[in-house]
Structure 1
């Protein structure tokens, strides 16, 4: 099948699901096609694993029992192929039989798997949620026919499907605000991976992995370094770890990774912030992530952290710091809401720890709308490592063209927006080797020493000294964030005063 035909067929499958009564929205049909693609892919991978084991003179025990393998139950629904791909025998099941099997046997079986990492990956996809299943057996059969025609042993088919799948994830991010929980624009990810520059032999961890964009891009970056079968094995089995709290993004992320070449992804279904940081046993060379922000955690979860706060963005930074290896080369790139840079209280305590215990070497202030359309929160990128305590921080403020005031759904962030940022990173690397001076950097970047940041009470806001005085106005989102913080402080003071009055009244 040609790439063009396969592309058309997969989009046709999406249209079929979109018209179904159970899959009206983009969230539902993307989820549905993802788990079907996963089952087809995994079945063909199991065949490859079996052949590899046979050639090596060892046995291989299939993960999925025979009755539930794609290659066994799909022919019962569609009929077995005869004479190539054009004709099929009469199917064993009618529409009702297919739906009864999928709903009553297949999904419960897959949800119950346990006993190995591969089985638990599958169980994590199908348990703890209502799996989206289209209402019409005829729609399901039409989609099964299309997906069954994909040859996942053919690199061209895998490349085509992975490209389409990324398009589906992008569409999900553009059309559904909930997708902001697990979709990060790929230009942001690519820039962050370039800055962090992961190398084969280093472990890469995303504690809030969502659809696994960071891990996929890190794999693509590291795969270019692959020279031996040992390198290949390290990348496949000993490099990438992700954690995800929710079932749907875990499914989307696992499928994203397998389509990009990681055959058995180590994606763990759990609440990352539930880990007690007093007993950390597993650490990583690299952490690269976009944590949840704007959320709140309960008092029980907060007990896991040295610095107590209900703000998920603060707890995420604490978790990341603790999960970095105690090595000078351990490093992190992460997204934060810009309010994290200037907020006081527990945030200031955390930033003091960050500057004292790690080297915060780069802060990138992104323009408004970088995460449009599902989030209007202004964001920044933090990059730090364990090489030393912070001596100075390089800031870069991304600017837009004169005719574009902010990014939006119609004008999304793109790779070319980071061209100047890449040049600044190149200059920074030369600067660290004494080849250039701060005067060689463009006006969109500047250095701030640690002493100045301490004097600012750990306010890490991007304040470009190279702009004209009249331009040194904080962004409206910074002003509103400060207003919210002041309002919260006022509310807390008012509540304390109220309690004092009540206690005095009770004492009388």
Structure 2
């Protein structure tokens, strides 16, 4: 896992080189070669400590040892001469394997400045590691800086997640092990370590995992710490042949070869190979496949061959298909997949899931969204394929991991309570039972089993575990009832078909529904004959619920009231919920905007890109608490009281605008003459401020400053104050503390002498530039006349408006407090569970 210290050291190395080696790719090459150079010397030192004989720096090459190169007393010129000579001579070092000599074949030092080299080598020397995992971390961070990983959908798999997957699959010494998108060979190294542990005396238990301590807190150990003393020479020879990897990137292949060699593979089997377009290895199979394949298809697209069972041009679909089809009859696989594989509704995804459920799938493990930080916040799951389980058991196991032993922020700091060891133990036991034809029951707080025929009932083969989570309805005081049993979803249009065509009806576009607001006002009317068949029909007191992102996620819903002729039509992206006699529309509205509904609905959304939708079947099946109608009325009345307070406070915020009474005697000047523009390069290059903790980040979609917790380098110092001006929304905000610019389209203005920044911010809000289309152009704003009183008058105006702003901000606090009261009123019913009277006694 990339730690902040490694990241900082790499960044420092790049900063040192940038003056002499401006090309980022050349920087990567220089840092990589230096890291490998030092690493070889470290491995020699470790071998000596363990009583062995050094390999890399022997005979006449002993004088090039890294430790001697950076020893105290070596001058900068001596260092330069020795290092540049070593780079050219290393290709002649017979102590290096051929793959190492190839790495150094074209190596050279592209500059001749002793002080730059001294600073660079000293920073490289500060890297401390006794195995190659941190070398892989450093190299892959370099690639991520260049954007080559993220653009391809490739993200470094954390070491503890790799080990977790390997321990579940439990590879054996006699098995063929493959990673068809191997990156830096992390999975292959972990599999080798696992086999060594299985075959070493003194290991705690049979599968090579310790029973003590939190798995996430255990030190990352070198595989060479496990002697594998129970392995025979023929076992080791077989392992060397059977552990294989492919990658399309020659850089990754090179690092994989180095990585494997340093872990005992004299002739590592990693090849440059395009798994998705080449047919050369299609007939080869493996007993174990471990992979985190690319999530994204390249910009040029993929031209796969025709042997795939599922026809697609999506890389994640093709890789999973490839892995499933290349398992031996009793083969097993663990694959990191993006959420699209889990629930996307496109035919290729559905066909892939159908194949997996029917022939390959044993389990699905949902991981937290931050597992891949700092490379990506993408949400992922792990598919466990086991052909023996799929053949013998009618069930699939679903697990959800919420704590993987690390915090989910960008720094991924270790924390206690990792659920991985427990999930691994429970899943391993369940699969062992399932191979024997059992597996119907899975008693766990982290997971449950679901029949394969249930997963395929609706033809979607959705693999989101929340969809099938069993509910114990008896645990609640208030009964829970599926929405489809108490509401009619999307009433048929035939109800109004016989009305005259000139009947005036309300027309409700999506924009008429406000976020988190139960009421709305239709903006248009139409004659019934003008309404096309594609529009959704509803009537007074029907609940409208947006089903498409981002409208659903932003709480767009409402209750239809006072419609023309009692009838409305609107977007096809609404669900219409018509309530029965036993439930109030207001109660249904509160339930479908409740966090519990949204939290379970969002993972079920299907579709592509930004047009994912909540499935109708999910809405119909979702169970909501249904208290007696009298209780519903009491709660709704209580909430209405709170809502009136919120609406009043919101009206104050929305309608308030600072007013500055203009005195004709005041002077004026154009804005461009009163400010300096702070340009984005300052944000990117300055190192004037660095802190760890809460750093404000300016978001142009909000007037307020949002807190951002991260380690920040290059925050903007406000000096005498700054004014932020957003192109799109014309947000104007005065800032008097260090901050980070978090979005494009924001202008940072620094007031010149004689202009109070806070006065300037208030003036721009009181007399905003007229909107031009959807933007307020900064080029026009610069020509805007600013009325400018004396500094004392500016100060008085600011004090008066600051006092008003305190009152306005108080309304925001009022809204937050009363929204909590609404949540509490609903949760009294939503969260009530039965009390076990015997246990209570």
Q: TM-score, normalised by structure 2?
A: 0.43
Partner residue of 1:339? 340
Residue 20 of structure 1: how far off its partner (Å): 1.7
1:202-247 deviations in Å (ceiling 9; x for gaps): 1211111112211111111111113134266236622311112223
Does residue 184 of the first structure (1) align with residue 182 of the second (2)?
no
- Secondary structure in structure 2 of the residue aligned to 1:381: strand
**Aligned to 2:253, which of 250, 253, 267?**
250
Does residue 465 of the first structure (1) align with residue 469 of the second (2)?
yes
Partner residue of 2:557? none
Partner residue of 2:609? 484
1:431-458 deviations in Å (ceiling 9; x for gaps): 4377997655124311121211221322
CA distance in 1, matches of 2:146, 2:76: 40
Q: Work out whether residues 332 and 385 of structure 2, in 8 Å CA contact, stay in contact via their aligned partners in 1.
A: yes
Q: Aligned pairs, how many?
A: 437
Partner residue of 1:494? none
> Counterparts of 1:249-398 in structure 2 under 5 Å?
249-276=252-279, 280-296=282-298, 298=301, 300-303=303-306, 305-324=308-327, 326-328=328-330, 330-343=331-344, 344-356=346-358, 358-387=359-388, 388-389=390-391, 391-398=394-401
Residue 336 of structure 1: how far off its partner (Å): 0.6
Residue 288 of structure 1: how far off its partner (Å): 0.1
CA distance in 1, matches of 2:353, 2:402: 26
> Counterparts of 1:76-475 in structure 2 under 5 Å?
95=81, 119=98, 123=102, 135-136=111-112, 138=114, 139-140=116-117, 160-162=130-132, 164-165=134-135, 168=138, 178-179=148-149, 181-224=154-197, 225=199, 226=228, 227-230=230-233, 233-234=236-237, 237-276=240-279, 280-296=282-298, 298=301, 300-303=303-306, 305-324=308-327, 326-328=328-330, 330-343=331-344, 344-356=346-358, 358-387=359-388, 388-389=390-391, 391-400=394-403, 407-411=408-412, 416-429=418-431, 431-432=433-434, 441-457=443-459, 458-462=461-465, 463-466=467-470, 471=596, 473=598
Larger fraction in helix: 1
Runs of 5+ consecutive residues of structure 1 not aligned to the other structure: 1-7, 47-61, 111-117, 151-156, 489-508
Residue 316 of structure 1: how far off its partner (Å): 0.6
CA distance in 1, matches of 2:144, 2:403: 21
CA distance in 2, matches of 1:301, 1:433: 34
CA distance in 2, matches of 1:413, 1:179: 25
- Secondary structure in structure 2 of the residue aligned to 1:300: coil
- Secondary structure in structure 2 of the residue aligned to 1:272: coil
1:275-302 deviations in Å (ceiling 9; x for gaps): 227x623222111000001224646335
CA distance in 2, matches of 1:421, 1:430: 14
CA distance in 1, matches of 2:145, 2:161: 19
Q: Work out whether residues 430 and 439 of structure 2, in 8 Å CA contact, stay in contact via their aligned partners in 1.
A: no
Q: Work out whether residues 395 and 439 of structure 2, in 8 Å CA contact, stay in contact via their aligned partners in 1.
A: no
Q: Work out whether residues 366 and 381 of structure 2, in 8 Å CA contact, stay in contact via their aligned partners in 1.
A: yes
Q: Work out whether residues 164 and 424 of structure 2, in 8 Å CA contact, stay in contact via their aligned partners in 1.
A: yes
- Secondary structure in structure 1 of the residue aligned to 2:374: coil
Residue 171 of structure 1: how far off its partner (Å): 6.0
Larger fraction in strand: 2
1:20-77 deviations in Å (ceiling 9; x for gaps): 226689987665344345467779999xxxxxxxxxxxxxxx9x9xxxx997679589
Q: Larger C-alpha radius of gyration, 1 or 2?
A: 2
CA distance in 1, matches of 2:67, 2:379: 54
1:151-174 deviations in Å (ceiling 9; x for gaps): xxxxxx9x6254653663686699
CA distance in 1, matches of 2:340, 2:107: 37
Residue 270 of structure 1: how far off its partner (Å): 2.5
Deviates more, 1:456-465 or 1:28-37: 28-37
Give the CA RMSD over aligned residues: 5.2
Residue 175 of structure 1: how far off its partner (Å): 7.1
Q: Decide whether aligned partners of structure 1 residues 210 and 170 sit closer, same or farther in structure 2, where only a CA change above 3 A counts.
A: closer
Residue 248 of structure 1: how far off its partner (Å): 3.0
Q: Decide whether aligned partners of structure 1 residues 370 and 87 sit closer, same or farther in structure 2, where only a CA change above 3 A counts.
A: closer
- Secondary structure in structure 2 of the residue aligned to 1:219: helix
Q: Work out whether residues 364 and 399 of structure 2, in 8 Å CA contact, stay in contact via their aligned partners in 1.
A: yes
CA distance in 1, matches of 2:180, 2:9: 35
Deviates more, 1:479-488 or 1:222-231: 479-488
Q: TM-score, normalised by structure 1?
A: 0.67
Residue 263 of structure 1: how far off its partner (Å): 4.0
Residue 147 of structure 1: how far off its partner (Å): 8.7
Runs of 5+ consecutive residues of structure 2 not aligned to the other structure: 45-54, 200-227, 474-479, 481-590, 614-841
CA distance in 2, matches of 1:183, 1:121: 23
CA distance in 2, matches of 1:228, 1:295: 41
Partner residue of 2:816? none
Residue 182 of structure 1: how far off its partner (Å): 4.8
Q: Work out whether residues 362 and 431 of structure 2, in 8 Å CA contact, stay in contact via their aligned partners in 1.
A: no
Q: Work out whether residues 354 and 360 of structure 1, in 8 Å CA contact, stay in contact via their aligned partners in 2.
A: yes
1:91-118 deviations in Å (ceiling 9; x for gaps): 99975x975995xx679x79xxxxxxx6
Structure with the greater relative contact order (CA < 8 A, sep ≥ 6): 1 or 2?
1
CA distance in 1, matches of 2:450, 2:312: 28
CA distance in 1, matches of 2:160, 2:134: 17
Deviates more, 1:453-462 or 1:215-224: 453-462
Deviates more, 1:254-263 or 1:218-227: 254-263
Q: Work out whether residues 177 and 287 of structure 2, in 8 Å CA contact, stay in contact via their aligned partners in 1.
A: yes
Partner residue of 1:50? none
- Secondary structure in structure 1 of the residue aligned to 2:194: helix
